[in-house]
Chains A and B, each alone.
Chain A
Amino acid sequence: MQVSNITKSFGPDEARVTVLNGVSLTIRKGEFVSLIGPSGCGKSTLLKVVAGLSDADGGSVSINGKSVAEAARRKAIGLVPQSPALLPWRTILDNVSLPIKINPAANAGRTLRDPKEILTSFGLGKAMDRYPAQLSGGMQQRAAIARAFVFDPDILLMDEPFSALDEMNRDQQRMGLLDFWQSNQKSVLFVTHSVPEAIMLSDRIVLMAAHPGRIAEIIDVDLPRPRNEALYATDAFRDLEGYVRNALRKVMEAAHV
């Protein structure tokens, strides 16, 4: 996926705020990229532009060489929003099957996954016939991630999927996603507020700065895979965490000047 020179601003002429200023980014096939930065840096806006939910004023996005509109038509984009956004009147299985049922013309020529199998690998095998309200917040979010993986999209876009969960639950869901992704390597663009989360999951971390929203630094996470919880305790992880936090602090101080 390629993002080139995206520009976007909001508001009336005199009070116009530039939210994204010349943002360019390439995500390789099977690469996990996190977007991190202070609030107002436009990371969620960038995700919306890539998802085709919001139009940019300038620049272009291409997914596998196709425009976002064309990619959506082919169901190439899997979205995991901030809230699980499951349909309360459908069982978990029916919720996860939904992307296969919708826009069926785009199903041709792709390897759809069995919803039951994917739910089982997400640890939701026993919850398939339940309704969203019967599940905990963490399980709901896992179902929402399964829903994005099930139709085999080219790229997954995740907008702070764990932000509504408490810290312990959050870590559990994070490791669940890590496990699943490591055995199903898809391109992912992952927006987060959490530095450890970004390091644990990503191949690269894109650090964004605010006012105007732009990319300040791209940090390679060259920690070995497969990763697991033990990584938190390693020196390499801590060094990198220190480095990212420091870079984040600099970006935020610069914004306050």
Chain B
Amino acid sequence: MSDAMTANPVQTRKTASPVARLVGSWLPPAVTFVIVAVLWQVVALNNPYVLPTLESVGNSMASDPHMYWANMLVTCQEIVIGAGAGILFGFLLAVAMSELPIIEKAVMPLIVVIMVTPVVAIAPALVVAFGFGMLPKYIVTGLVVFFPMLVNSLAGLRDVDQKALDVFKTLHASRWETFRDLRLPGCMPFVFAGLRIAMPLAVVGAAVAEFVAAGQQAGLGSLVTISAAQANLPVTWASIALLCLLGVVLVSLLALLRKRVLWWSDADVIGR
């Protein structure tokens, strides 16, 4: 703030110290979490067959970390391979559709038909077709993220700045040059919007895949179904907590990546 402005009492505003701001942004959600935890404990202590106590969940994780770790790795593997392939394929198909509209006309109706079919219903059929290995799980996880990636990427590739496109046309830019220098970087805000939807869905997809296409009986989703069937509530809830953690980590990593790649799309980050 300039001297002229601070000298004027009307213009002066107390700006919060960094510590105060940190407290201000962390304290309200922290209070919410504490209240929920207390309520949880009250319910758990009075109804041991409905909810496990928080310390029993924690004890379960601490007593057998290796088991949880191994199952989490299986779920991670499904997410990395399955969702990774779904994201990549969704994006590449969007590129193909935006460059060759005939592909969109030919393929989009089929994709819509597949997408309105519940994944949960397809999964058992996939197990029959592809066996009890990891493949059906990759496919289910991939299917779930594929559609939001495709639709968002396609919207982004189409949302090109028309005036900039005119400049490229008068320069007789090749299709590749227009894609590399204009469409590809320009569609990134939409791609990241798609990823923001796809990332939590990837965790859902992996868990659902393990429920329905059980097969090898590994992964956090399988752990949930098996332990629930045995009424082993601490294990059930520990697995759910880890699935939740996985989602939070994925979304946070994505936010970090977005900041690196898309700094130019947030005007307030650059500052005017």
- B and A form one assembly: yes
Q: Point out residues on A near B: beta carbons under 8 Å.
A: 51-53, 72-75, 77-79, 81-83, 85-89, 98-99, 101-103, 106, 131, 133-134, 147, 151, 157
Give B173-217 interface residues, CB cut-off 8 Å to A.
173-174, 177, 181-182, 185-186
Residue in contact with A134 in the complex, picked from B181, B182, B185, B270, CB distance below 8 Å:
B270
Residue in contact with B169 in the complex, picked from A72, A74, A82, A88, CB distance below 8 Å:
A72
**Beta-carbon contact of B167 and A52 below 8 Å:** no
**Beta-carbon contact of A88 and B265 below 8 Å:** yes
**Beta-carbon contact of A81 and B171 below 8 Å:** no
Any A CB within 8 A of the CB of B28: no
**Beta-carbon contact of B166 and A81 below 8 Å:** yes
Q: How far is the CA of A52 from the CA of B165 in the complex (A)?
A: 13
**Beta-carbon contact of B173 and A134 below 8 Å:** no
Given that A87-B182, A87-B185 are contacting pairs, would A51 and B166 also be in contact in the complex, using a CB cutoff of 8 Å? yes
**Beta-carbon contact of A85 and B169 below 8 Å:** no
Q: Which residues of A contact B186 (CB under 8 A)?
A: 87
B222-254 vs A, CB cutoff 8 Å, 1 = contact: the mask equals 000000000000000000000000000000000
Residue in contact with A79 in the complex, picked from B166, B182, B264, B265, CB distance below 8 Å:
B166
Q: Chain A nearest CB: distance from B216 CB in Å?
A: 44
Q: How far is the CA of A77 from the CA of B170 in the complex (A)?
A: 6
Q: How far is the CA of A188 from the CA of B163 in the complex (A)?
A: 19
Residue in contact with A102 in the complex, picked from B181, B264, B265, B270, CB distance below 8 Å:
B181
**Beta-carbon contact of A133 and B170 below 8 Å:** no
Q: Which residues of A contact B168 (CB under 8 A)?
A: 102
**Beta-carbon contact of A134 and B169 below 8 Å:** no
Q: Which residues of A contact B174 (CB under 8 A)?
A: 103
Q: Which 6 A/B pairs are nearest by Cβ-Cβ distance? A: A85-B163, A81-B163, A85-B164, A79-B170, A72-B172, A89-B264
Q: Chain B nearest CB: distance from A105 CB in Å?
A: 9
21 contacts between A and B (CB under 8 A): A53-B166, A72-B172, A75-B172, A81-B166, A83-B163, A85-B164, A87-B181, A87-B182, A88-B264, A98-B181, A99-B167, A102-B171, A102-B181, A103-B173, A131-B264, A131-B270, A133-B267, A133-B272, A134-B270, A151-B171, A157-B170
Residue in contact with A103 in the complex, picked from B166, B172, B272, CB distance below 8 Å:
B172
Residue in contact with A78 in the complex, picked from B170, B173, B182, B271, CB distance below 8 Å:
B170
Q: How far is the CA of A131 from the CA of B181 in the complex (A)?
A: 16
Q: Chain B nearest CB: distance from A245 CB in Å?
A: 30
Any A CB within 8 A of the CB of B64: no
Q: Chain B nearest CB: distance from A212 CB in Å?
A: 24
Which residue of chain A lies nearest to B180 when distances are taken between CB atoms in the complex? A102
**Beta-carbon contact of B173 and A89 below 8 Å:** no
**Beta-carbon contact of B167 and A79 below 8 Å:** yes
Of the candidates B161, B170, B185, the one having the most CB atoms from chain A within 10 angstroms of its own CB is: B170
**Beta-carbon contact of A134 and B271 below 8 Å:** yes
Q: Chain A nearest CB: distance from B176 CB in Å?
A: 10
Q: Which residues of A contact B169 (CB under 8 A)?
A: 51-53, 72
Q: Which residues of B contact A85 (CB under 8 A)?
A: 161, 163-164, 166-167
Given that A51-B166, A103-B177, A133-B270 are contacting pairs, would A89 and B185 also be in contact in the complex, using a CB cutoff of 8 Å? yes
Of the candidates B161, B167, B272, the one having the most CB atoms from chain A within 10 angstroms of its own CB is: B167
Given that A89-B264, A133-B267, A134-B270 are contacting pairs, would A99 and B164 also be in contact in the complex, using a CB cutoff of 8 Å? no
Q: Which residues of A contact B181 (CB under 8 A)?
A: 87, 98, 101-102
Q: How far is the CA of A147 from the CA of B167 in the complex (A)?
A: 10
Q: How far is the CA of A98 from the CA of B181 in the complex (A)?
A: 9
Q: How far is the CA of A151 from the CA of B171 in the complex (A)?
A: 10
- Given known contacts A81-B164, A83-B163, A151-B171, what 4 new A-B pairs fall within 8 Å (CB)? A53-B166, A85-B167, A87-B164, A134-B272
Q: Which residues of A contact B170 (CB under 8 A)?
A: 51-53, 72, 77-79, 157
Q: How far is the CA of A165 from the CA of B173 in the complex (A)?
A: 29
Q: Which residues of B contact A52 (CB under 8 A)?
A: 169-170
Which residue of chain A lies nearest to B269 when distances are taken between CB atoms in the complex? A133
Q: Which residues of A contact B173 (CB under 8 A)?
A: 102-103
**Beta-carbon contact of B172 and A133 below 8 Å:** no
Q: Chain A nearest CB: distance from B108 CB in Å?
A: 28
**Beta-carbon contact of A133 and B264 below 8 Å:** yes
**Beta-carbon contact of B171 and A75 below 8 Å:** yes
**Beta-carbon contact of A103 and B171 below 8 Å:** yes
Q: Which residues of B contact A86 (CB under 8 A)?
A: 164
Q: Chain B nearest CB: distance from A126 CB in Å?
A: 16
Q: Which residues of B contact A78 (CB under 8 A)?
A: 170
Given that A89-B264, A133-B267, A133-B270 are contacting pairs, would A102 and B166 also be in contact in the complex, using a CB cutoff of 8 Å? no
